[in-house]
Amino acid sequence: MAQHKIYEMSFSNVYPHYLAKVEKKGRSQDELHKIIFG
């Protein structure tokens, strides 16, 4: 089975894109941190 590219990426490469998406949807960085870090 082929693996997705996302599994080959480090968190530091994905995080800025995830943050941009969250902010585009009207949420804050603090809310993102609560979800990621618990």
CB neighbour burial string for 1-38, b if at least 16 within 10 angstroms, e if fewer: eeeeeeeeeeeeeeeeeeeeeeeeeeeeeeebeeeeee
Inter-residue contact 19 to 29 (CB < 8 Å):
yes
Single-letter amino acid code for the residue at 15: Y
Q: Where are the domains of the chain?
A: 5-37
* Per-residue pLDDT at 20: 97
| Between 38 and 2, residue with greater pLDDT | 38
| pLDDT band at residue 1 using 50, 70 and 90 as cut-offs | low
- The model's pLDDT over 3-25, given as tens digits with 9 standing for 90+, comes to 888 888 899 999 999 999 999 99
Which DSSP letter does residue 27 get? -
C-alpha to C-alpha distance for 23 and 20, rounded to whole angstroms: 5
* Per-residue pLDDT at 19: 96
